[in-house]
């Protein structure tokens, strides 16, 4: 009888996942130095259906413009990676003052040489509208807002 035929997962897949997890933890913490360090110069940030922000400097400018006005909380449900791509299913809470919008998001990231080169998020716009309505109602009745 021979041993198992399944080979261990290459370390680089785990490294790519760790880079993305660390990147998103930095987004959540408004840790702009870490976000910038983990971003490739050619970083592209795209929320599907909206404009693409190209270049690390532009992405950082957009992120920094929300400092103190906009917060994000993230909960990862599933993550997988292959060939430099990391796919992540998560729930995001976008917080503006007392308004809390909780939404399922599917993220696609590309990592090269330990740097994020692509950050693309997808979500359902009808679900966004419902989450926004729930968040607005939650300003008066906080129990209707979903927790992460």
Q: What is the mean pLDDT of residues 91-110?
A: 95
Q: What residues are paired with 88 via a beta bridge?
A: 79, 107
Residue 40 is assigned to a structural domain of this protein: yes
pLDDT given for residue 5 in this prediction? 58
Give pLDDT tens digits for 68-78. Answer: 899 999 999 99
Task: Give catalytic status of residue 16 as yes or no.
Answer: no
Q: Which two tokens stand for residue 49?
A: 């259906």
Residue 47 pairs with which residues in a beta bridge?
121
Task: Let me know if 124 is a catalytic residue.
Answer: no
Of the candidates 30, 57, 113, 121, the residue annotated as catalytic is 121
Question: Does residue 130 form part of some domain?
Answer: no
Q: Is residue 81 part of a domain?
A: yes
pTM: 0.86
Pairwise pLDDT comparison (49 vs 133), residue with the higher score: 133
| φ, ψ (nearest 5 deg) of residue 127 | -65, -35
Can you give the residue range of the structural domain that contains 64?
Answer: 11-96+104-123
Judged against a pLDDT cut of 70, whether residue 2 lies above it is answered with no
| Whole-number pLDDT of residue 8 | 54
- Residues 68 and 47: their CA atoms lie apart, in Å, by 21
Structurally, the chain folds into a number of domains equal to 1
Does residue 52 belong to any structural domain of this protein?
Answer: yes
CATH number at residue 66: 3.10.450.50
């Amino acid at each position: 009888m021979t041993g198992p035929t399944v080979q261990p997962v290459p370390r680089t897949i785990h490294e790519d996942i760790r880079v993305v997890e660390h990147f998103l933890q930095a987004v959540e913490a408004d840790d702009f130095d870490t976000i910038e360090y983990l971003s490739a110069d050619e970083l592209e940030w795209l929320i599907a259906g909206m404009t693409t922000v190209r270049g690390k400097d532009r992405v950082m400018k957009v992120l920094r413009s929300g400092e103190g006005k906009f917060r994000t909380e993230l909960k990862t449900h599933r993550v997988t990676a292959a060939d430099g791509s990391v796919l992540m299913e998560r729930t995001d809470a976008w917080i503006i003052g007392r308004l809390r919008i909780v939404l399922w998001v599917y993220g696609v990231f590309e990592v090269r040489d330990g740097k994020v080169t692509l950050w693309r998020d997808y979500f359902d716009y009808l679900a966004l509208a419902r989450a926004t309505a729930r968040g607005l109602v939650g300003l008066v009745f906080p129990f209707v807002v979903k927790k992460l």
